[in-house]
Structures are given as structure tokens and as C-alpha cells.
A and B are shown apart, each in its own frame.
Chain A
Amino acid sequence: MTKRVVTCIVCPKGCRIDVEINNGEITSIKNYDCKRGIDYAKSEVLDPRRILTTTVKLSTGRVLPIRTIEPIPKHLLKKAMVELKDKIVVPPVKVGDVIAKNIVGTGVEVIATANAK
């Protein structure tokens, strides 16, 4: 059996959640302040994911902020950056417009988080 302390990042409280793992399965989760902590601790131990926020080039010169619509596996973040590296977006773009589909094969969409004229 292994024990892990997971610092929850769902909200700024930063609960330190105690997780016990036995043969790759979670046997106990303790010391969380809300339900979101349970889900976070589970995912952090079994399949850690993060929302990727970055920028892509605009054809007009500056950059456009974007994000994955859902968290993607942590180990794929750098790969996703590489995949987005040479992308150039032509305005106009509105908040929520899809910029890329199925990023690094995760099935997750990447959307614009700002408007560009």
C-alpha cells in the first residue's frame, strides 16, 4: 500500500488530500473540504490532467490566447504545444471559436479565449 498527499488545485484553498493506493486502486481518500476534491484526487493519482492555455499566431501580427476545452493528460501538454506551434489564425475570431480539433489525438477541442478583429 502506498500513501500520497495530493494538493488540490481546483480552488485556491489548496486542500492537502491524503490518498491511499493499493495495487493501483484507490482504497481511501481523506481530508478534502468539498466533493470536487475527491474527483481531483482520483484523477491526480490515476490519470493527471491539466487544461492547456497558450497562444497561437494571428495573421495580423500579435497572438491569440487559446485553451483546451477540457483537461488533457499532463504528459501530453508539451506535445500539444508542438502541434500548435506553426498554426496561424486569420481574424475575425470570437471567444469560444474552435481553433483546433482533436488535439494530440485526445478528442479535445481547442478554443479561442479572446476576440480578435
Chain B
Amino acid sequence: MSEVETLEATQRAISRRAFIKRVIAAGAAVSSANYLFRGSFTGLAPRASAQGVERLISLKVNGMVRRVDVVKQETLAWTLRYKLGLTGTKLGCDRAECGNCTVLIDDVPHYSCSVLTHTVRDREVTTIEGLAGPGGRLHPVQQAFVDELGPQCGFCTPGQIMSTVALLKRNPNPTREEAAEALSGNLCRCGAYHYYLNSVMRAAEYMRG
């Protein structure tokens, strides 16, 4: 068979039925039922549904106790962004791929898109909003990211900063290589890695001294 004939035969072979079978085999066509949240901040959402019932819980966020209604499958990123107004925590993928939503839980960096809110009830949650001191005085890590002009678009910056804060807590004198390793879970599509690493190294200096 010539190449052209082969192609035509292939085209003929793909009936609509076969097509649909293949799509199903490839794993559940295209569903929009992912990346979902049931939110009640508008005050208009029904409190009970197939998604479950909201429960009032207490969270320790940025040193304050916050009381908030959450459903059992609610992620920390959603609670922070849509219930507590802490929109500095960014959602880039909502699937633990990008690290834009990194927050600290008891000083350990976590992807808040992949942590259920009710699991952090007795723990200390720190977000980008919790770093600056009184009067908006920048945390040394934030100051370093400013001085080294770390950000470009800035969408991944809160996550990069949270990972840096965690790194410097457990290792105040990282090498550049250790810093790269520690931040490697934080993607930056602008590719600002060199400048972020400069920021981390300067932050370590500021923290020491």
C-alpha cells in the first residue's frame, strides 16, 4: 500500500464509534468537574449539598486564631483565598505541580492546594501576608527579594518567598546549590531563577545579620 492509501485507510478505519471508544479508553473525556470549590463567602451559597456540610473550625493563621466555616474536602488554598481574604497565596495549577500556593505549616513549606483545611486545625499556618512586621516593615527575606529585584510577573513570588523562609529556618547558611534544591518545587515561568537565587543568598545575609 502506498503511503497515501495507508492514510486514507486509516481515516476510514476511525469511525465515530471507534473514536469514542478510544476517548473513553484515554480516560474520561473532558470534564469540567475538577478544580472545584464550594464557597460561602458571598453568603448566598446553600450551606448543605451533595458536597457536604460546612463546619465551623478554628485555624491559626499568621499568629491569629481565625474561625471559619469549611467543608470537609476544602483545601487550605481555597480557605485562605476565599474565606479569609488572604489572596497572596496564588493558585497556578491546583494540582501540586507549580508551587505558587506554597505556605508554611509549622515552618514546613506545603502546597496549600493539596492540603485539606481541617487537617491543619492544631498547627501554625503562615502565608505571605504573615511575614511583614508592624507598619508593613518587610521581613528580611522580602527585603532581599526587593533589593535583588527577584520577581518578574510576581505570580510565583509569594511561593518562592515562603520556601526561602522555610529554608533559612532550617539552614541559615545555604549554598547556592542547596537553595536551588530547596526552591526546586517552585516553578517560575518567567525563568527568574538566577535572580531568585541571588535574593535567597542575600536573604541569608540579612537574616544572619
Partners in one complex: no
Which residues in A have some Cβ–Cβ distance to B below 8 Å?
Answer: none
